[in-house]
């Protein structure tokens, strides 16, 4: 099936220009919104590029976009919050469904940092969602950004890091991902795991058993909390975070490519099977 790839920009609810790539067949039978992890871009090192192409060949138009403060989208990482990105997923979904008026609902895909936020977005607007796919999702942001940091104790930051946060406006989580005060305060209260009880659409989680950043036990535990009657955890034996071998940021290793082909095949089949989703799903308060 011939596919076309083009730039696709849309506006966030609060007025930022978010920039993405639309990969689409000539006639789309479904649509998907792909949300990447923190500190990377819409292509997820090439994984989302290949996933988008596979979905399009199966008749599903895929929009992958740079999260605010990432890639070439507007905004600053230090201003980023879970709520703002959840709103951006909602805005992306509306823009994509507007482009394809024959499609009533979208598949939502989220990876890593974007995974838990995708669950929030799906739980808040199930009437717009056909199915949910999460790759090695982060579902406890407080654990990752506060509890596992040595400079936090009893939910209070150490003096040296507080000084650096005031001076720079952020603390580095990685060389490419900044944590600002809005997000650090938010994760003390907002728990995406609590939104899993609102996720009523078919949900697929794909997680590598060798993941040392977000262990697969997280997905094993949280799968039980998802309200959807149809749900599955696909474990990729030995895969590190990103469904890859260790220390393969370009996803060039043959084993990485094999694992990602497996994951892409499973996701494509999942979306083909679960189509438009539950027609009577209602938005959650």
Dig out the tokens for 49 from the structure: 């590029």
Averaged confidence pLDDT in the chain = 95
Closest CA to 62 of 75, 53, 71, 73: 53
Count Cα neighbours of 132 within 13 Å in the Cβ-side half-sphere. 41
Which residues are CB-neighbours of 228 under 8 A, at least 6 positions away? Answer: 132, 199, 200, 201, 202, 203
Residue with tokens 């609102």: 198
Please list the alpha-helical segments (H only) found in the chain: 47-57, 82-99, 113-124, 141-142, 159-168, 181-186, 192-195, 216-223, 254-274
pLDDT in tens, 264-275: 999 999 999 998
Which helix (H) or strand (E) segment holds residue 66: the answer is: none
- For every one of its 285 residues, what pLDDT tens digit does the chain have, with 9 covering 90 and above? 678 999 999 999 999 999 999 999 999 999 999 999 999 999 999 999 999 999 999 999 999 999 999 999 999 999 999 999 999 999 999 999 999 999 999 999 999 999 999 999 999 999 999 999 999 999 999 999 999 999 999 999 999 999 999 999 999 999 999 999 999 999 999 988 888 999 999 999 999 999 999 999 999 999 999 999 999 999 999 999 999 999 998 899 999 999 999 999 999 999 999 987 544 444 444
Any bridge partners for residue 65, and if so which?
20, 35
Asked if 91 contacts 33 with a C-beta cutoff of 8 angstroms, the reply is no
Contacts by 272-276 with C-beta closer than 8 Å and gap 24+?
272/58, 272/60, 273/202, 274/107, 274/130, 274/131, 274/201, 274/202, 274/230, 275/30, 275/130, 276/30, 276/103, 276/104, 276/105, 276/130
Number of separate helices (H) and strands (E) present in the chain: 9, 12
pLDDT in tens, 177-206: 999 999 999 999 998 888 899 999 999 999
For 188, other C-beta atoms within 10 Å of its C-beta total 12
Which residues are CB-neighbours of 117 under 8 A, at least 6 positions away? Answer: 35, 82, 85, 86, 89, 110, 192
pLDDT in tens, 19-41: 999 999 999 999 999 999 999 99
Residue with tokens 């991902």: 177
Supply the pLDDT for residue 194. 85
Which helix (H) or strand (E) segment holds residue 129: the answer is: strand 129-135
Q: Is 42 exposed, middle or buried (0-12, 13-18, 19+ CB in 10 A)?
A: buried
């Amino acid at each position: 099936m011939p596919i076309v790839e083009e730039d696709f920009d849309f506006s966030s609810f609060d007025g930022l220009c978010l920039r993405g790539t639309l990969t689409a067949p000539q006639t789309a039978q479904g649509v998907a919104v792909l949300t990447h992890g923190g500190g990377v871009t819409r292509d997820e090192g090439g994984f989302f590029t290949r996933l988008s192409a596979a979905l399009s060949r199966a008749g599903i138009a895929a929009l992958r976009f740079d999260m605010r403060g990432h890639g070439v989208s507007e905004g600053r990482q230090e201003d980023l919050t879970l709520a703002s990105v959840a709103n951006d997923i909602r805005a992306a979904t509306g823009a994509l469904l507007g482009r394809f008026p024959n499609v009533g609902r979208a598949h939502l895909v989220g990876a890593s940092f974007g995974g838990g936020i995708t669950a929030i977005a799906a739980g808040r607007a199930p009437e717009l969602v056909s199915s949910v796919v999460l790759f090695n999702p982060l579902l406890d942001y407080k654990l990752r950004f506060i509890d596992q940091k040595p400079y936090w104790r009893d939910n209070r930051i150490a003096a040296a890091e507080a000084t650096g946060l005031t001076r720079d406006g952020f603390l580095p989580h990685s060389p490419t991902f900044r944590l600002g005060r809005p997000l650090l305060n938010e994760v003390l209260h907002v728990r995406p795991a609590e939104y899993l009880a609102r996720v009523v659409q078919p949900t697929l989680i794909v997680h590598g058993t060798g993941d040392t950043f977000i262990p697969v036990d997280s997905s094993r535990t949280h799968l039980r909390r998802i309200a959807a009657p149809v749900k599955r955890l696909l474990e990729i034996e030995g895969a590190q975070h990103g469904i890859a071998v260790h220390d393969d940021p370009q996803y060039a290793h043959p084993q990485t490519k094999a694992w990602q082909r497996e994951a892409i095949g499973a996701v494509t089949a999942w979306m083909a099977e679960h189509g438009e989703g539950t027609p009577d799903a209602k938005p959650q308060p």
